[in-house]
Structure 1
Amino acid sequence: MTSPSEDLPSLISEDDRDAVVHRLQEAYAEGHVEHEEMDERLHRALSATTRAELASILVSLPQENTGTTSTISVAAGRIRRRGAWRVPRFLKVESAYGRVRLDLSKAVFDHPMLDVELLLGTGRAKITVPRDAVVEFDDLRTGWKDTHYKPPRAIRPGGPRIRISGAMGFGRLKIRHARGWRATTQP
C-alpha cells in the first residue's frame, strides 16, 4: 500500500523552473541545442508542473559546468575587491587577521547563484551586494558579533542569489545592498 504522499507528483517551484530555463540557455549558447529545439524545450519547461517533467527536458544535455572554487587568501592585511570584476560560482575568502571588503555591486556574475565561504579569524567583513540580489547567510557561524543585514523592502526579480557560509571568529559581517547599480549576469 502506498502512502498519500507517494501518490502525489513532486511539484516544482519557480526557482526550479528558472534553473532549467537557465541551463537551456547555456546549452543553446554552447551549441548543444538548435534554435527550434530550444523553443520546444522552453515551451515544455514553462508549462511543466512536476520535477519529472523538468528532468526530462534536460536529459540529453551534457552536465552543467558549475565552475571551480576561487580562493582569496591572506594571513594578515586587507582583502579588497571592487569595480567590474568577474565573480566565480564559488568564492572562498580566508583571512587570519585583517579586514575583508567585497563589493559585488558592479561585478559580472557568470552564474545566477554565488556561494561565498568566509573563513575569518579576526577582523571585520563588509559585503556590498547588487541592489536586486537575494542574500542568504543562515550557514554562517559567528563567534563574537551577529551579522548586520537590513534587507531592502522590495527586490526586483532576476538578480543573483548570494549564499554566505563559513565561520567568523572575532569581528562582524555587514551586508548591504548597493544603491543604483545592478550586477551583470552573463547568459
Structure 2
Amino acid sequence: MTAGFPEAAPWGEQRASHTDRETVVERLQQAAAEGRIDFHELDERLEQALNAKTHGELAVLTTDLQGAGLQGVGLRGIAGAGRELVEDRPLILKGGLHGVVRKGGWKVPSRVTAHGGMGGVVLDFTRAECPPRAIDLEVHGQMAGVVVIPDDWAAETSGIEPGLGGVKDRTTPDHAPDAPLLRITGTGGMAGVVVRHPKGRERRQLEREAKALTSR
C-alpha cells in the first residue's frame, strides 16, 4: 500500500456503473434471442443485472455465455465491446404491467421479439428506420398486440398460432413484388394480435409530416 493511499478494491468488488449494467442487459437479451437462455431465466438475470452493485455480481450473469456473440470478451472489456456489437442484433420487447410502445423514428433490427404481457405491445413501423427488405417479428399477444405497417409494406401472418385471441390481418394483400416484408410468427395469446395499415387520423398525421419535410 502506498503511504497515505488505500489499495484499490479487487476488480470484482469495484462498483459497477450504469453503462456496465446496460451492457450486460443487452448481452442477456441477445443470448435469449439466440436460444441460449429461456425467457424465464432472462427475467431472473435481468432483474439481477439491474440491481447489481459490483462487477463481480454482473460477471456471474454472463460467464456461461462467453463465446456467444462476444467471442470470448470478458466482463472487463464488456463495456467497450457492447458498443462494437453489430447494431442489427435482435430486439426483445416486453409489455409487462405497463405496456411497451415503439413508434416514431425508432431503429428496427431485422429480428424483433415482442411479448404483450399485461400492458400490451404496440409497434408502429410507419416512421421507423428499418432494414430495406424484410423484418422477422415474433409476437406473443398475451393481453394485447397491435402492429402498424406502412401502406406499401406486405405482411405475412400465416406463421402465427391464433391462440384464444386470434390474429386479425387487416393489411392490403396486393403489393409490389419488391415491397418490404414483415414476416410474423408467434401466437395471438389471450387478447390476439392485430396487424394493420395506418387509420385515417394516423394517415393524415403522416401526410402533414411529409408536407412539412418537403417545404423545408
Q: 1:152 to 1:86 in 2, by over 3 A?
A: same
Q: How many residues align?
A: 117
* SS of aligned partner of 1:96: coil
Q: How does 1:104-119 map to 2 (within 5 A)?
A: 104-119=125-140
Question: Given the alignment, which residue of 112, 136, 140 partners 1:91?
Answer: 112
Cα distance in structure 2, aligned partners of 1:159 and 1:145: 28
Cα displacement string for residues 121-145 of structure 1 (whole angstroms, at most 9, x for unaligned residues): 3x12111101111100111112213
Q: 1:164 to 1:66 in 2, by over 3 A?
A: farther
- More off after superposition, 144-153 vs 91-100: 144-153
Cα distance in structure 1, aligned partners of 2:117 and 2:156: 24
Q: 1:135 to 1:153 in 2, by over 3 A?
A: closer
Cα distance in structure 2, aligned partners of 1:108 and 1:88: 9
- Post-superposition offset of 1:156: 4.2
Aligned to 2:148: 128
Cα distance in structure 1, aligned partners of 2:177 and 2:144: 30
Cα distance in structure 2, aligned partners of 1:165 and 1:70: 15
Cα contact 1:137–1:164 (8 A) shared by 2: yes
Question: Given the alignment, which residue of 76, 83, 96 partners 1:75?
Answer: 96
Larger radius of gyration: 2
Cα distance in structure 2, aligned partners of 1:94 and 1:145: 14
Counterpart amino acid of residue 112 in structure 1: R
Cα contact 1:140–1:167 (8 A) shared by 2: yes
Q: Which runs of 5+ in 1 are unaligned?
A: 1-64, 183-187
Cα distance in structure 2, aligned partners of 1:124 and 1:67: 26
- Post-superposition offset of 1:167: 1.9
Cα distance in structure 1, aligned partners of 2:100 and 2:151: 22
- Post-superposition offset of 1:72: 1.2
Over the matched positions of the two proteins, sequence identity in percent amounts to: 21
Cα contact 2:163–2:190 (8 A) shared by 1: yes
* SS of aligned partner of 1:88: coil
Q: Which has the higher contact order (CA 8 A, sep 6+)?
A: 1
Cα displacement string for residues 1-52 of structure 1 (whole angstroms, at most 9, x for unaligned residues): xxxxxxxxxxxxxxxxxxxxxxxxxxxxxxxxxxxxxxxxxxxxxxxxxxxx
Q: Which runs of 5+ in 2 are unaligned?
A: 1-85, 208-216
* SS of aligned partner of 1:75: coil
Q: How does 1:136-155 map to 2 (within 5 A)?
A: 136-152=156-172, 154-155=174-175
Cα contact 1:89–1:111 (8 A) shared by 2: no
Tell me the C-alpha RMSD between the 2 structures.
2.5
* SS of aligned partner of 1:108: coil
- Post-superposition offset of 1:85: 1.2
Q: Which has the higher helix share?
A: 2
Cα distance in structure 2, aligned partners of 1:118 and 1:76: 17
- Post-superposition offset of 1:171: 0.5
Counterpart amino acid of residue 89 in structure 1: S
- Post-superposition offset of 1:115: 0.5
